[in-house]
Amino acid sequence: MKNIDKLGTVITTDVLVLGAGGSGMCAALKAKESPVDVLVLDKCGTGYCGQVPIGGGILAYVHPEHVGEWAERVTVQSGYFNNQDWTYAFGGDMHPTLMELASLGLTFLEKDGEIDILNWGPGIYVTLFDAPKSLVALKKTAKDRGVRMMDKIYAIDLLKRDGRVVGAVGLGLVDGKTYIFNAKATIIATGGCGYLHEKTYASCLGEGPAMGYRAGAQLVNAEFGSGYVWGTEVLGKELFGIHFYLYLENERGEKIMGKYYPELMTGTHSVYTFDPRVIDAMQKEVKAGLGPIYLNLKGLSLEEIAGLAEDQDTELTHLMANDNLRLLTDKAGIDPSKERIEMTPKYLYSGGGLRIDTACRTTLEGLWAAGSAGSNSWSGGGGGQGGLGVASAAVTGFRAGGSAGKYAASNKRYDVDATQAKRALDRVLAPMGRKGSVDTADVTYRVHEAVVPMKYNRQREAGRMKEALGIINDARGKLAEVGATDYHDLARYHSAESMAMAAEFTYRAALMREESRAAHFREDFPEKDDKNWFKWITIERKNGEPGLATLPVPLKDYRLQP
């Protein structure tokens, strides 16, 4: 690696894991089972980063004896549009994953000395874990096993040699150093794109899928998987609570869910903030002039309100940030037992991610993806429930780590090409020292104007989506006027660019898919069209532009047939 030291601090490892959230830590721990050196980086700090510690602490569960039944239900619900290889792999991995997480130090809800599995509705099983302490536990185990960890490193572009990924470049946010990482295997575990509109998951801004795309890896399903959650505007975040939907009402004080989804009003259901049925009811009411929508918990005691959340258990720790009652009373100055609270929808998550096989390999040699940075089509739009995010992070993390560890143990190292590293760094560092006239927050706001309105993203239509793409293009134009004085600013710049890219991919794929399916609804093509669209849409960089293509769902190779 001649001259490479002049470009930055060079660090060599066998398996490089980008992102130390749930998927990244699982990947690092599993990779370390091979005789290799493992280094995990995070733009925040190991033990406290990503979505898992600030999530609800819910892990989806499927009993080993019910995997077939579960996979069949998901497959039928999705109209056979899912990747059945992944559905079976995911379902089959859930039980061993739970056991492995417990052995790695996670604390789960227990009953009579066993991990307690809760039934949250027809065929829906979960267990609860101590989310705020979960990554601290994994960090301790990782440290004991010799996994190396670096905090406050913002990785933003991959390095390639002879077509394979050989590492990444990163910015030292605190030390101000430029880093060049050389690895035999690289795992992207940086999450998807959360967009910062809803602020629960502010760490995931699309950097991983964006860097994979720039390196030439294929993305898939960009038109699916995005959605809305609901909460108070003043708190700017979703309200966790699986029974709150029962208490949503319109301006007139009429309960709204039973009007559209009477089946949800009888029996026991867990309706999470991600559930599209709630957003659907809210939007219909507002369209009918019956908005705004309120959460009316008046008359209930604070204890009863806390009970409606159901994922709050006294045996496990809970973050103030996820405690609705404390946030409402202490932060927003609202007493939910005395006043009704206006609810607003918030946009959360881009769709899709890097296309991965059942070993979590991307389409690029030397590159894996885990967690929500990857997309494996396991659900195909079916099987929605709480706790899948963590289950998916762990399952894909373990699979990616296992595969990458074995690969690194049996393959030779390819050095970083100094010319290519310089080219990557020139791109990454370009805004440094540039006199900026626009703030990155304004770019983010412009991206929100394209992705948040339901007229663009929920009731999709060709003309309006082209309008949204125009707004994204305008955001990109603004980005060119952003300057950076230090690596903190530079990281904000690249996050904004990644968000704009995620938004563009969503609309490009949504424009191409001229039908309606799962959460992708086209006003101009309202019917499902299996004849023409029983295929997944991929995006891959071609001549510097996003090239879209289709991949037929390989139904004939799958176990279940319609």
Partner 1 sequence: MTVKSLDSEKCTGCGICVACCPMDVLRLDEETGKAFVAYPKDCVACWGCESFCPVGAIDVSPERGRGRMVSAY
- CB burial of residue 102 (10 Å; 0-12, 13-18, 19+): middle
Q: Tell me how far apart the alpha carbons of residues 525 and 534 are, in angstroms, rounded to a whole number.
A: 15
Q: Which is nearer to partner 1, 43 or 361 (CB)?
A: 43
Q: Residue 105 is encoded by which pair of tokens?
A: 């130090």
Q: Residue 332 is encoded by which pair of tokens?
A: 């927003």
Q: Which is nearer to partner 1, 49 or 128 (CB)?
A: 49
Q: Which is nearer to partner 1, 138 or 408 (CB)?
A: 138
CA 202 to chain centre: 11
Report the nearest approach of partner 1 to the CB of residue 75 (Å): 31
Q: Tell me how far apart the alpha carbons of residues 353 and 190 are, in angstroms, rounded to a whole number.
A: 11
Q: Which is nearer to partner 1, 449 or 529 (CB)?
A: 449
Q: Tell me how far apart the alpha carbons of residues 233 and 331 are, in angstroms, rounded to a whole number.
A: 12
Report the nearest approach of partner 1 to the CB of residue 203 (Å): 4
Q: Which is nearer to partner 1, 210 or 360 (CB)?
A: 210
Q: Which is nearer to partner 1, 14 or 207 (CB)?
A: 207
108's CB contacts (< 8 A; 6+ apart) are: 59, 98, 101, 102, 115, 116, 127, 128, 129, 130
Report the nearest approach of partner 1 to the CB of residue 280 (Å): 12
Which stretches within 233-342 are classed as H helix?
257-260, 276-287, 302-309, 324-326
Report the nearest approach of partner 1 to the CB of residue 153 (Å): 11
Report the nearest approach of partner 1 to the CB of residue 351 (Å): 16
Report the nearest approach of partner 1 to the CB of residue 335 (Å): 15
Q: Which residues pair with 160 in a beta bridge?
A: 165
Q: Are strands 38-41 and 148-150 parallel, antiparallel or unpaired?
A: parallel
Q: Which is nearer to partner 1, 150 or 215 (CB)?
A: 150
Which stretches within 216-261 are classed as H helix?
257-260
Report the nearest approach of partner 1 to the CB of residue 48 (Å): 4
Q: Are strands 227-232 and 237-238 parallel, antiparallel or unpaired?
A: antiparallel
Cα–Cα separations (whole angstroms), residue 291 to 286, 394, 528: 4, 40, 30
Give the residues lining the site for partner 1 (CB under 8 A). Answer: 43-49, 53-54, 132, 151-152, 173-174, 196-197, 199-203, 228, 233-237, 283, 286, 291, 319-322, 327, 331-332, 344-347, 441, 444-445, 448-449, 452-454, 458, 488, 491-492
Report the nearest approach of partner 1 to the CB of residue 97 (Å): 25
356's CB contacts (< 8 A; 6+ apart) are: 362, 368, 369, 374, 375, 376, 396, 400
Q: Which is nearer to partner 1, 217 or 479 (CB)?
A: 479
